[in-house]
Structure 1
């Protein structure tokens, strides 16, 4: 599973099972059929529901890399299909950030259904609040209509913005941090394949 720490507004919008997962749908069934991973390095996301141009939008960020996702203009069926929307937005935002085939194949290897709780970190919530302000400014400055957006370009633009992380002296560049994580995971997988026990 991929842990998603949702703010109260987002958590209340989701219909979850007793395990904190979204019910499987025809579009997300394949995620539930993948084998479990004890420690998933892609796990650990925060999500926040915001209203922009009178539309529901979800902003997400990966805890350790601060890699951002923008899911704009969501309707009620989109919340039921949040697993599918997450996968689509994550993979396409990676593409917009210059990810190559190795990055994408590695990301796909670790994709699992979202498991949602409401345990949020104030540090990561601070990043989400900054993302909202920056995205709102972009919408206004570039006169963008949120209903016409996929969110991929906005996510890639936000990924190229440095983030400060509580307890770290250096700033984090989300795009570089996520691509580096995927490269490291690809190297680890290659090593395991070449050196089976």
Structure 2
């Protein structure tokens, strides 16, 4: 699974996890459906990662990361991903397949402006929601928040109709 990171996030990652050159081989093309884009956002002095699935726009929020958490980002990502699938009422067969076939993350800096646009929109929604509800980032449940972010209509560049990320992920 490749996590296409913004430069800000990529700089925080351990060197052992980074890909020296962007993946353009047939393996990278075949595994395109596994790819996600991720961005590091500071919300109320807390470092958070927003990860958006390229094809479905299924969104994950990994809040309140510390410096040592970036070295173990794979574990945090897997935890939020599987738990969000459960909170999104995905079929148990799908959750089992996702959990048993999970591959360690690799990171690069390739970008897709359409997905980055979705990440910016999601960031604005989170910041507004926290401000409106007078909530702290540390108090939110990452799984429930991620499930809610993925249960909303989302526009994708080049597609006429809006998609629902959770429904697209279930497919």
Q: TM-score, normalised by structure 1?
A: 0.78
Is residue 2:6 matched to residue 1:7?
yes
Give every structure 1 segment of 4 or more consecutive aligned residues whose post-TM-superposition deviation is greater than 4 Å: none
CA distance in 1, matches of 2:130, 2:39: 18
Structure 2 residue runs of 5 or longer lacking an equivalent are 21-26
CA contact (8 A) 2:33 2:55 kept: no
Structure 1 residue 57: Cα displacement: 0.5
Is residue 2:109 matched to residue 1:118?
yes
Structure 1 residue 37: Cα displacement: 10
Structure 1 residue 143: Cα displacement: 1.9
CA contact (8 A) 2:17 2:107 kept: no
Which of 95, 100, 117 matches 2:91?
100
Cα distance change of structure 1 residues 18 and 92 upon mapping to structure 2, 3 Å threshold: closer
Q: Which residue is 2:156 aligned to?
A: 165
Cα distance change of structure 1 residues 60 and 178 upon mapping to structure 2, 3 Å threshold: same
Q: Which residue is 2:24 aligned to?
A: none
Is residue 2:168 matched to residue 1:177?
yes
CA distance in 2, matches of 1:64, 1:89: 19
CA distance in 2, matches of 1:7, 1:113: 19
Q: TM-score, normalised by structure 2?
A: 0.90
Q: Which residue is 2:72 aligned to?
A: 81
Cα distance change of structure 1 residues 123 and 46 upon mapping to structure 2, 3 Å threshold: same
Structure 1 residue 47: Cα displacement: 0.2
C-alpha distance after superposition, 1:40-70 (max 9, x if no partner) = 4651100000100111000000000000000
SS of equivalent to 1:17: helix
Structure 1 residue runs of 5 or longer lacking an equivalent are 22-35, 181-197
Structure 1 residue 179: Cα displacement: 1.0
Q: Which has the larger radius of gyration?
A: 1
